Amino acid sequence: MRAMDDVPSPPTAVGAPVWSLILILVWGFAGLLGAAPAMFTPMMFDAPGSTESTITVLTALSVLLFPVVCWGSATGLVVVRVLAKRSGYRRRLAVFLGVAPVLSGLAVVACFVVLSVFCGGAFDCG
pLDDT band at 87 (very low <50, low <70, confident <90, very high): confident
pLDDT more than 70, % of the chain = 87
The backbone torsions φ and ψ at residue 105, rounded to the nearest 5 degrees and listed phi first, read -65, -40
Please name which of 72, 91, 96, 83 lies closest in space to residue 24, comparing C-alpha atoms: 72
DSSP-derived letter for residue 7 is S
* pLDDT average, residue stretch 74-101: 86
For residue 3, pLDDT over 60 is answered with: no
For residue 11, pLDDT over 50 is answered with: no
More confident residue, 105 or 18: 105
- CA distances 6 to 2, 12, 13, 113, Å, are 6, 17, 21, 66
Please name which of 125, 123, 124, 126 lies closest in space to residue 63, comparing C-alpha atoms: 123
Q: Where are the domains of the chain?
A: 17-41+50-119
